[in-house]
C-alpha cells in the first residue's frame, strides 16, 4: 500500500502553512476591500450620521396646525428590564399619543447584560438606538467610548430643578451632563429586632463588627452578618467601608490609595468577620439575590442592604422575617463619614441618534412627576424632590410603621451620604482586579496589607495603560 | 473485483496514479461549501483577533489603539494567574475525560448486558446532554449553595445536623463541584459511544475465553479493553473539542472564583476581555490556549486518523 | 462474525445479573435526579424554592410559570417580574435556526466527509486537521470579532446569521463522522455502480448515501443538540426576540437582583421536549449506525 497513513511533521507544517497562508491572504484581501479593521464608533456607519440638531426641530417652535411635534418619528430604546423596571414603560403610550412619535424597544435585559451590550455596541459601532438606559456607575465608559450626547442643550435649569442635586451631579463629567436621573438606590442597615433585642443598631463599623460576632449563634444557625462576596458588589462594599474609615480609592493624581491604613482596616474587618464564623462560609459566591434570600430565611442578624428589597422582606409569602426587622443608617467609620455607596438609574441619548429632540422629550416624560410617582408607589426610591414631599406625609397613614421611617431615612441618606464610585470608565476594570484579591483576603489566603498593595499595583498599571499619568 | 477490502481502508485511489481531473473537480465541489462557511465564521474572526492581540485595543478605546508588538504575550507569560488557570484547565479536562471514561465504561458494561428497556434507559441517560450547559450551571450552582442548596439540605435531612459545607468556596471542594457538574453533563456521551463499541465486539473470543475458564475481570482486561480502545480514542478526541460546554457551566457556577480558585483559562479570558475591557490581552491569551489545544488535538486526532486510515485490525 | 460481545455469549441469568441491573437502574436514577429537580422546581411556589430548612414535598403545585410562557392569563403576575415573555418568538427562532442549520451542516458536512473518504489529494490531512481545530475554538474567543464582522455584514441579530454560525460549528464533527461511515462502505460498490454507467456523483447518491444514513442520523443528533443549546455566541449575536434563541432567553430570567428560577426551569422543560422527541426518534438509528463498526479505527 503506497498510501501514506500518518503525516510526518514536515508535511503537517507544510499543510498548516498553506492553509494559514491562504486564509491570511484571503482575509487581508477582504480587509483591504472593506473599511479599516478598527471599528470607530464616532465615525459610525454613514447613513446614521446626523446633522447638528437645529433649533428648528425644537418643539417650542409652533407645530404645524394639524401635526404633532414628532409625528412619524420612531424613537428607539435600549432599556433595562425585569423585576419592576418595566412598569414605568407603561406610561409610554400617552407620550406617543401626545407627540405622534412611536417608541420601539431595541433591547431589553438586566443591568449587567445591558451594560455589556452597550459597551460592545459602542465598540463595534453598531448603535441603532436613540435612548439608552444608563447608570451613574457605568456611564463613564460610554462617555470614553464617545457614545453619548451631552444633555446640557436639551435640559435647562428648570428641567433639572426638581431632582435631588447629588443625583444630578453624579451624572456630570468634564463639565457636561450625561444622565437624567430616573431612580436611585442606596443601602442601609437591616437588623432583626428580635435578635438585637434592646440593643441599638451599631453606630460605627467597629461596633458593627463586635456585634456581628456576638450575635452569631451556630446552634440556631444564625450568622451575625453577611456581605455579597463577589464581583462589583464586593468592590462596592469595600469601597464604602474604606471611605467611611476615611480612605480614598485614588488621590487627586489618580494614584491608587486604597491600600492606606483605612483600606487595610476595612479589608481586615471583612477577614476577621469571616474567620470568626460570623458570616456564611459560602459568602464569596453570593450575589445580591443570595444575601437577600438568606436574610429572608431568617439566618442573618443584621447586614447592609439596598432599600429596594423592602417589600420582599415584608411579604410573608416570600420572607420569614416579615415584621421582625428594622432599618438604620449605615455605620460610620474613623473618618466620621457614613457609608453610602449608591448609584442611580438614568437615561441618556446616543451620539449617533438622528432624533435627539424626540429622545429628549421621551426622557422628560419618563422622568417626569407621573413616572416618578408610579415608581414610588412600587417602593422605588425616586429622583424628584417634589414626589418625596408628597409620599412621605402619605406614608404616615400606612399600617406599616416602617414605611415612613424608611422613606425619611432614604431621603436623608440620598442627601448626605450618597456617594458613587469614581466616575471613570475604569471603575469596572479596577473592580475586576480588586475583587478576587479582596476574596483572597477574606478567605485568609493573603493578609490585608499585602493583598491591597498587590491590587494597588495592578490598578496602577491599568491606569497607566489607560493614559492617566502622562 | 470482489476482493475484500478491509473496512476502513483508504480508498482504492492508492492503485491509481493521482486522481482524475473529473474526480478532482468533484472533490473541490464537495469540499467548497463546507470549507467556505467554516472559514467565514471561524477563520476571519480568529485572524482579526490575532491582529488585535498585537495591539492595546480596549473596548472603551476602539479608535485610539496602537500596535504594541509582543507586549501582551510577554505580560501574560509573566502573569501567575494565567499559568495557574492554564494548569488548572488542563488538569480539569484530563480528570473530567478520564472520570467520564471510567464511569462511562462501567455504565456501558451494565447497559450492554441489560435486556429490558434499553431504548428508554438510553433516552433517560442522554438527558444531561440535552440540557443547555448554562442551565446545568445554574442547577449545580444551586445544588452546591451552602445555605439553601440540595446537597447540604440532603445532608441535613439524612443526618439531622446542619452541615454548612461551602462547596463552591473551599479549595478542593470548588474544583470538585465543577468537576461533578461537568462529569454529570458529559458522561452520557461516553456511555453511548462505549456501549456501541461493546455491542459491536465479536462474540467468538469471549466464548472461547469462557470455555477456557477465564474470569469476568480477565475477560474484561484482556479482551474488552484492548478491543474498544479505538472507540475510546475517538470519544476522547471529540470530548477534547468540547471545552466550550465546560466553560458555560463553570462560568455560571463560580465564574472562576472565588479568589481565582476555580479559574479556568476561559473564565479568566472572559473577565479580562469583557469586564476588564482589555480585549487585546484577552485575544493574546486565547491564542496561547488555542495553540496548546492545537497540539493536544493534533496528537489525539493523528492517533485516530492513524488507526482509521490504516485499516481495521 | 457476530457482534454483541460477551453479552450474548450464552449465559444464563444469575443473581449477579439482577444485582447488576439494580445497580444500573440506581445509576440511571442518579443521572436523572437533577433533571427531576428542574421539573419539580418549575411547578413550585416561589417561597419553597429557596427555603431553609428544605422543603421536599411541595405544598402546592402551580402551573403559573407555564401559563406565563404560553401567554395564558394568570391570577397574579410572576413574582417581582413584570413583562411578557415572547415565548413564541423564542420557540420559532430556536426551531428554525436549529433545524435549518442542522440540515445544512449535515449536507455540507456529508459532502466534505465523502471527499475525505474517497479521494486523496495534497493537503487533505492539513484541511482535515484545520477543520477539527475550527471546532476547538470556544464561543467566547470568537464572539466579539464575529459580532463586529456580522455587524458589518448586517447579519447581527438575524436568524440567517445564527444559521450560518451554527452550520460552521457543526460541519467539522459531521465531516469527521461521515468520513468514518463512508470508509466502512467498500469502494467496490462505487466501482460497480460506475461500471454500470453512473457518474461518481450518481454513485454517491445511489449507493453510498443510503448506506450511510445511520451516520447522518448520529451526526444529526449532535448537530441539533449543539445548535439547540448553544449559549455564548447566541447571547452576543442575538439581541431581540427577532432572532433570540432559548439559551440566551433562559439567561434573561436572571436579574441583577432577583431571578425567576421557576420561570427558567419552566422554559427549560419546554426546551427539553423537542430535544427528547428528536433524540428518541433518532436514537435507534444512532445505535444501529454506531454498531456498524464505523466508529472503529
Q: How confident is the model at residue C291 (pLDDT cuts 50, 70, 90)?
A: low
User: What's residue A57's pLDDT?
Assistant: 38
User: What's residue C74's pLDDT?
Assistant: 56
- How many separate domains does chain B show? 1
Looking at residues C45-55, what average pLDDT do you find? Answer: 70
End-to-end Cα spacing for chain C:
18
Q: What is the DSSP string of A159-176?
A: HHTTB-HHHHHTTEETTE
Average pLDDT of every residue of chain B: 79
**Residue B299 forms part of a structural domain:** yes
Q: Is the pLDDT of residue C208 over 70?
A: yes
Which residues does chain B have within 8 Å of residue A281's beta carbon, measured at their own beta carbons? 146, 164-166, 169-170
B258 cis-preceded (ω within 30 degrees of 0): yes
Highest mean pLDDT among A39-43, A216-220, A324-328, B258-262: A324-328
**Residue B22 forms part of a structural domain:** no
> How far is it, in rounded angstroms, from Cα B289 to Cα B234?
22
Angle of helix B279-310 versus helix B225-241 axis, rounded to 10? 150
Q: How confident is the model at residue B60 (pLDDT cuts 50, 70, 90)?
A: confident
Q: Does A66 touch chain B (CB under 8 A)?
A: no
Cα nearest neighbour of B65 on chain A: A38
Task: Tell me which residue of B145, B141, B150, B300 sits closest to B235, measured CA to CA.
Answer: B300
Which residue range is the domain that position B111 belongs to?
73-310
Residue C184: strand, helix, or coil: coil
Biggest CA–CA distance in chain B, Å, is 78
C53 cis-preceded (ω within 30 degrees of 0): yes
Q: Is the pLDDT of residue C35 over 90?
A: no
Pairwise pLDDT comparison (A244 vs B223), residue with the higher score = A244
Q: Is the pLDDT of residue A20 over 70?
A: no
Highest mean pLDDT among C3-12, C103-112, C245-254, C264-273: C103-112
Backbone angles phi, psi at A76, to 5 degrees: -105, 135
CB atoms within 10 A of CB A25: 10
A258-277 pLDDT tens trace: 999 999 999 999 999 999 99
Interface contact C51-A124, CB threshold 8 A:
no
Percent of chain C with pLDDT over 90: 15
Task: Tell me which residue of B111, A59, B249, A216 sits closest to C17, measured CA to CA.
Answer: B111
Q: Which three three-digit cell numbers place residue C100?
A: 435549518
Q: Does C132 touch chain B (CB under 8 A)?
A: yes
Residues A419/A340, Cβ–Cβ less than 8 Å:
yes
> How far is it, in rounded angstroms, from Cα A200 to Cα A3?
87
**Residue B286 forms part of a structural domain:** yes
Q: Is the pLDDT of residue A24 over 90?
A: no
B166-185 pLDDT tens trace: 888 888 888 999 999 999 98
Percent of chain C with pLDDT over 70: 82
Partner residue opposite A280 with nearest CB, options B147, B255, B260: B147
Q: What is the DSSP string of C228-241?
A: HH--HHHHHH--ST
Q: How confident is the model at residue A427 (pLDDT cuts 50, 70, 90)?
A: very high
End-to-end Cα spacing for chain A:
69
Q: Which three three-digit cell numbers place residue B148?
A: 439553601
C245-282 pLDDT tens trace: 999 888 888 776 777 788 888 888 889 888 888 887 77
Q: Which three three-digit cell numbers place residue B189?
A: 456521551
Which residues does chain B have within 8 Å of residue C201's beta carbon, measured at their own beta carbons? 26
Interface contact B47-A27, CB threshold 8 A:
yes
> How far is it, in rounded angstroms, from Cα B79 to Cα B94?
23
Average pLDDT of every residue of chain A: 83
Q: Which of residues 112-171 of C touch A (CB under 8 A)?
A: 120, 123, 125-127, 129-130, 144, 147-148, 151-152, 156
Partner residue opposite B42 with nearest CB, options C134, C187, C297: C134
Looking at residues A15-41, what average pLDDT do you find? Answer: 33
Which residues does chain A have within 8 Å of residue C60's beta carbon, measured at their own beta carbons? none
Cα nearest neighbour of C152 on chain A: A126
> How far is it, in rounded angstroms, from Cα A401 to Cα B153?
36
Q: Is the pLDDT of residue C80 over 50?
A: no
Q: Which of A91-105, A291-305, C208-222 has the lowest mean pLDDT?
A: C208-222
Residue C59: strand, helix, or coil: coil
**Residue B110 forms part of a structural domain:** yes
Residue A14: strand, helix, or coil: helix
Q: Which three three-digit cell numbers place residue B25?
A: 473537480
Angle of helix A356-366 versus helix A92-99 axis, rounded to 10? 140
Partner residue opposite A15 with nearest CB, options C80, C120, C123: C123
* Residue A342 parent element (H or E): strand A342-349
B128-140 pLDDT tens trace: 888 888 888 888 8
* Gyration radius from chain B CA atoms: 24
> How far is it, in rounded angstroms, from Cα A430 to Cα A426?
6
* Gyration radius from chain C CA atoms: 24
> How far is it, in rounded angstroms, from Cα A43 to Cα B251?
35
**Residue B80 forms part of a structural domain:** yes
Looking at residues A323-335, what average pLDDT do you find? Answer: 92
Looking at residues B153-159, what average pLDDT do you find? Answer: 78
Cα nearest neighbour of C148 on chain A: A124
Q: Is the pLDDT of residue A85 over 90?
A: no
Chains that touch C (3 or more CB pairs under 8 A): A, B
Q: Which of residues 66-85 of C touch B (CB under 8 A)?
A: none
Cα nearest neighbour of A465 on chain B: B56
> How far is it, in rounded angstroms, from Cα A254 to Cα A234?
21
Cβ contacts of A62 within 8 Å, gap of 6 or more: none
Cα nearest neighbour of B104 on chain C: C27
User: What's residue A118's pLDDT?
Assistant: 92
Which residues does chain C have within 8 Å of residue B233's beta carbon, measured at their own beta carbons? 297
Angle of helix B225-241 versus helix B171-199 axis, rounded to 10? 130
Which residues does chain A have within 8 Å of residue B275's beta carbon, measured at their own beta carbons? 428-429, 432
Looking at residues A231-259, what average pLDDT do you find? Answer: 93
Instruction: Tell me the domains of chain C and their CATH numbers.
Output: 14-62 (no CATH), 87-294 (1.10.3720.10)
> How far is it, in rounded angstroms, from Cα C153 to Cα C161?
9
Residues B297/A12, Cβ–Cβ less than 8 Å:
no
Residue A192: strand, helix, or coil: strand
Q: Does A145 touch chain B (CB under 8 A)?
A: yes
**Residue B55 forms part of a structural domain:** no
> How far is it, in rounded angstroms, from Cα B185 to Cα B128?
5
Task: Tell me which residue of A28, C125, C126 sits closest to B50, measured CA to CA.
Answer: A28
Looking at residues A214-221, what average pLDDT do you find? Answer: 88
**Residue B297 forms part of a structural domain:** yes
Residues B310/B7, Cβ–Cβ less than 8 Å:
no
Q: List C-alpha distances in Å: B293 to B289, C219, C262.
A: 6, 23, 38
Average pLDDT of every residue of chain C: 79
Q: How confident is the model at residue C138 (pLDDT cuts 50, 70, 90)?
A: confident
Q: Is the pLDDT of residue B6 over 50?
A: no
Q: How confident is the model at residue B65 (pLDDT cuts 50, 70, 90)?
A: confident
Place of cell 413583562: C83
Looking at residues C116-137, what average pLDDT do you find? Answer: 82
Distance from CA of A104 to the nearest CA of C (A): 11
Q: Is the pLDDT of residue B192 over 80?
A: no
User: What's residue C48's pLDDT?
Assistant: 73
| Residue C278: CA count within 13 A, CB half-sphere | 23
Highest mean pLDDT among A27-36, A395-404, C250-259: A395-404
**Residue B47 forms part of a structural domain:** no
Q: How confident is the model at residue A389 (pLDDT cuts 50, 70, 90)?
A: very high
Task: Tell me which residue of A5, A340, A383, A460 sits closest to A160, measured CA to CA.
Answer: A383
Task: Tell me which residue of B35, B43, B134 sits closest to C234, measured CA to CA.
Answer: B134
Looking at residues C107-120, what average pLDDT do you find? Answer: 89
Pairwise pLDDT comparison (B124 vs A263), residue with the higher score = A263
* Residue B16 parent element (H or E): none
Q: Is the pLDDT of residue A183 over 60?
A: yes
Pairwise pLDDT comparison (C256 vs A176), residue with the higher score = A176
Cα B209 to chain center, whole Å? 35
Residues B311/B9, Cβ–Cβ less than 8 Å:
yes
Q: Is the pLDDT of residue C135 over 90?
A: no
* Residue A177 parent element (H or E): strand A176-177
Distance from CA of C112 to the nearest CA of B (A): 5
Q: What is the DSSP string of B102-114?
A: HHHHHHHHHHHH-
Pairwise pLDDT comparison (B5 vs A314), residue with the higher score = A314
User: What's residue B54's pLDDT?
Assistant: 92
Whichever domain contains B226, its CATH number is 1.10.3720.10
Q: How confident is the model at residue C297 (pLDDT cuts 50, 70, 90)?
A: very low
Looking at residues C40-63, what average pLDDT do you find? Answer: 75
Task: Tell me which residue of C281, C151, C162 sits closest to C230, measured CA to CA.
Answer: C162
- The number of C-beta contacts closer than 8 angstroms across A and C is 96
> How far is it, in rounded angstroms, from Cα C77 to Cα A284?
32
pTM across the whole model: 0.82
B82-102 pLDDT tens trace: 999 989 888 888 888 888 888
User: What's residue A328's pLDDT?
Assistant: 93
Q: Is the pLDDT of residue A191 over 60?
A: yes
Interface contact A285-B309, CB threshold 8 A:
no
A92-133 pLDDT tens trace: 999 999 999 999 988 888 888 889 889 989 988 889 899 999
Amino acid at each position: 500500500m503506497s498510501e501514506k497513513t500518518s503525516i510526518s511533521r514536515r508535511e503537517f507544517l507544510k499543510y498548516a502553512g498553506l492553509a494559514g497562508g491562504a486564509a491570511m491572504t484571503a482575509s487581508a484581501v477582504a480587509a483591504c476591500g472593506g473599511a479599516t479593521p478598527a471599528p470607530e464608533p464616532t465615525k459610525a456607519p454613514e447613513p446614521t450620521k446626523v446633522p447638528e440638531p437645529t433649533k428648528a426641530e425644537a418643539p417650542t417652535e409652533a407645530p404645524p396646525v394639524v401635526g404633532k411635534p414628532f409625528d412619524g418619528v420612531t424613537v428607539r430604546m435600549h432599556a433595562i428590564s425585569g423585576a419592576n423596571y418595566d412598569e414605568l414603560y407603561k406610561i409610554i403610550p400617552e407620550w406617543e399619543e401626545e407627540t405622534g412619535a412611536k417608541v420601539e424597544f431595541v433591547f431589553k435585559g438586566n443591568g449587567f447584560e445591558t451594560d455589556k451590550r452597550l459597551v460592545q455596541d459602542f465598540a463595534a459601532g453598531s448603535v441603532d438606538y436613540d435612548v439608552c438606559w444608563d447608570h451613574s456607575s457605568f456611564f463613564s465608559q460610554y462617555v470614553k467610548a464617545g457614545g453619548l450626547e451631552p444633555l446640557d442643550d436639551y435640559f435647562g435649569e428648570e428641567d433639572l430643578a426638581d431632582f435631588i442635586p447629588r443625583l444630578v451631579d453624579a451624572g456630570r463629567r468634564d463639565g457636561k451632563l450625561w444622565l437624567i436621573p430616573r431612580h436611585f438606590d442606596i443601602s442601609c442597615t437591616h437588623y432583626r429586632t428580635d435578635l438585637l433585642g434592646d440593643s441599638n443598631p451599631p453606630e460605627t463599623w467597629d461596633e458593627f463588627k463586635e456585634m456581628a460576632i456576638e450575635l452569631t449563634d451556630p446552634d440556631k444557625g444564625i450568622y451575625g452578618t453577611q456581605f455579597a462576596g463577589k464581583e462589583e458588589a464586593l468592590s462596592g462594599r469595600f469601597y464604602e467601608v474604606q471611605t467611611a474609615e476615611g480612605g480614598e480609592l485614588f488621590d487627586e493624581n489618580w494614584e491608587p490609595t486604597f491600600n492606606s491604613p483605612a483600606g487595610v482596616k476595612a479589608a481586615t474587618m471583612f477577614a476577621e468577620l469571616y474567620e470568626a464564623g460570623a458570616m456564611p462560609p459560602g459568602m464569596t459566591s453570593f450575589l445580591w439575590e443570595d444575601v437577600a434570600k438568606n436574610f429572608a430565611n431568617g439566618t442573618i442578624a443584621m447586614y447592609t442592604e439596598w432599600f429596594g428589597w423592602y417589600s420582599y422582606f415584608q411579604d410573608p409569602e416570600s420572607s420569614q422575617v416579615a415584621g421582625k426587622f428594622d432599618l438604620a443608617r449605615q455605620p460610620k467609620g474613623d473618618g466620621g463619614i457614613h457609608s453610602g455607596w449608591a448609584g442611580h438609574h438614568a437615561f441618556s441619548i446616543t451620539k449617533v441618534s438622528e432624533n435627539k429632540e424626540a429622545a429628549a422629550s421621551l426622557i422628560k416624560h419618563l422622568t417626569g412627576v407621573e413616572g416618578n410617582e408610579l415608581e414610588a408607589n412600587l417602593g422605588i426610591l425616586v429622583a424628584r424632590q417634589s414626589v418625596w414631599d408628597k409620599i412621605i406625609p402619605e406614608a404616615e397613614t400606612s399600617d406599616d410603621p416602617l414605611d415612613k421611617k424608611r422613606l425619611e431615612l432614604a431621603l436623608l441618606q440620598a442627601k448626605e451620604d450618597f456617594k458613587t464610585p469614581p466616575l471613570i470608565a475604569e471603575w469596572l476594570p479596577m473592580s475586576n482586579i480588586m475583587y478576587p484579591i479582596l476574596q483572597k483576603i477574606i478567605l485568609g489566603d493573603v493578609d490585608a496589607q499585602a493583598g491591597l498593595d498587590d491590587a494597588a499595583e495592578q490598578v496602577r498599571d491599568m491606569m497607566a495603560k489607560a493614559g492617566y499619568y502622562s | 473485483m470482489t476482493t475484500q477490502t478491509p473496512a476502513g481502508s483508504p480508498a482504492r485511489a492508492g492503485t491509481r496514479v493521482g486522481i482524475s481531473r473529473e474526480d478532482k473537480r468533484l472533490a473541490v465541489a464537495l469540499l467548497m461549501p463546507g470549507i467556505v462557511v467554516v472559514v467565514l465564521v471561524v477563520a476571519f474572526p480568529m485572524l482579526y483577533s490575532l491582529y488585535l492581540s498585537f495591539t492595546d485595543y480596549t473596548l472603551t478605546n476602539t479608535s485610539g489603539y496602537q500596535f504594541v508588538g509582543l507586549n501582551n504575550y510577554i505580560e501574560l507569560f509573566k502573569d501567575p494567574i494565567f499559568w495557574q488557570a492554564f494548569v488548572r484547565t488542563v488538569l480539569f479536562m484530563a480528570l473530567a475525560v478520564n472520570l467520564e471514561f471510567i464511569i462511562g465504561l462501567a455504565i456501558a458494561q451494565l447497559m450492554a448486558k441489560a435486556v429490558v428497556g434499553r431504548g428508554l434507559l438510553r433516552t433517560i441517560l442522554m438527558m444531561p446532554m440535552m440540557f443547555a450547559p448554562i442551565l446545568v450551571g445554574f442547577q449545580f450552582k444551586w445544588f452546591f449553595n451552602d445555605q439553601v442548596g440540595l446537597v447540604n439540605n440532603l445532608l441535613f435531612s439524612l443526618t439531622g445536623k446542619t452541615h454548612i459545607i461551602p462547596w463552591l468556596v473551599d479549595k478542593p471542594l470548588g474544583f470538585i463541584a465543577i468537576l461533578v457538574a461537568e462529569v454529570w453533563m458529559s458522561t452520557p456521551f461516553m456511555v453511548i459511544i462505549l456501549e456501541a463499541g461493546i455491542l459491536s465486539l465479536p462474540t467468538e473470543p469471549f466464548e472461547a475465553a469462557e470455555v477456557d475458564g477465564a474470569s469476568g475481570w480477565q475477560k474484561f482486561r484482556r479482551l474488552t479493553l484492548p478491543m474498544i480502545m479505538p472507540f475510546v480514542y475517538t470519544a476522547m478526541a471529540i470530548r477534547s473539542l468540547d471545552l466550550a460546554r465546560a466553560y458555560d457551566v463553570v462560568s455560571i457556577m463560580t465564574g472562576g472564583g472565588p479568589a481565582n480558585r476555580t479559574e479556568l483559562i476561559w473564565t479568566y479570558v472572559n473577565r479580562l476581555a469583557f469586564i476588564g475591557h482589555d480585549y487585546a490581552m484577552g485575544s493574546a491569551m486565547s491564542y496561547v490556549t488555542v495553540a496548546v489545544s492545537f497540539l493536544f488535538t493534533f496528537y489525539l486526532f493523528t492517533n485516530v486518523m492513524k488507526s482509521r486510515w490504516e485499516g481495521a485490525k | 462474525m457476530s457482534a454483541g460481545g460477551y453479552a450474548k455469549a450464552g449465559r444464563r441469568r444469575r443473581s449477579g445479573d439482577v444485582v447488576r441491573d439494580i445497580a444500573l437502574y440506581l445509576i440511571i436514577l442518579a443521572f436523572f435526579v437533577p433533571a427531576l429537580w428542574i421539573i419539580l422546581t418549575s411547578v413550585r411556589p416561589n417561597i419553597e424554592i429557596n427555603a431553609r430548612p428544605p422543603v421536599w414535598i411541595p405544598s402546592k403545585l402551580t402551573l403559573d410559570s407555564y401559563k406565563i410562557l404560553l401567554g395564558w392569563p394568570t391570577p397574579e403576575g410572576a413574582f417581582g417580574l413584570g413583562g411578557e415573555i415572547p415565548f413564541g418568538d423564542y420557540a420559532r427562532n430556536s426551531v428554525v435556526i436549529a433545524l435549518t442549520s442542522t440540515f445544512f451542516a449535515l449536507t455540507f458536512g456529508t459532502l466534505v466527509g465523502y471527499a475525505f473518504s474517497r479521494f486523496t489529494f495534497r493537503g487533505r490531512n492539513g484541511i482535515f486537521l484545520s477543520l477539527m481545530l475550527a471546532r476547538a475554538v470556544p464561543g467566547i474567543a470568537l464572539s466579539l470579532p464575529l459580532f463586529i464582522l456580522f455587524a458589518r455584514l448586517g447579519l447581527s441579530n438575524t436568524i440567517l446569521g445564527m444559521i450560518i454560525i451554527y452550520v460552521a460549528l457543526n460541519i467539522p464533527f459531521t465531516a469527521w463522522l461521515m468520513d468514518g461511515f463512508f470508509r466502512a462502505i467498500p469502494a467496490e460498490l462505487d466501482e460497480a455502480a460506475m461500471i454500470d454507467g453512473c457518474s461518481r456523483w450518481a454513485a454517491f447518491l445511489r449507493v453510498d448515501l443510503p448506506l450511510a444514513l445511520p451516520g447522518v442520523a448520529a451526526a444529526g443528533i449532535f448537530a441539533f443538540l449543539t445548535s439547540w443549546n448553544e449559549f455564548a455566541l447566541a447571547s452576543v449575536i442575538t439581541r431581540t426576540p427577532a432572532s433570540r434563541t432559548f439559551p440566551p432567553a433562559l439567561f434573561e430570567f436572571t436579574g441583577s437582583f432577583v431571578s425567576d428560577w421557576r420561570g427558567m426551569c419552566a422554559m427549560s422543560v419546554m426546551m427539553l421536549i423537542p430535544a427528547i422527541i428528536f433524540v428518541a426518534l433518532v436514537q435507534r438509528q444512532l445505535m444501529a449506525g454506531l454498531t456498524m463498526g464505523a466508529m472503529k479505527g
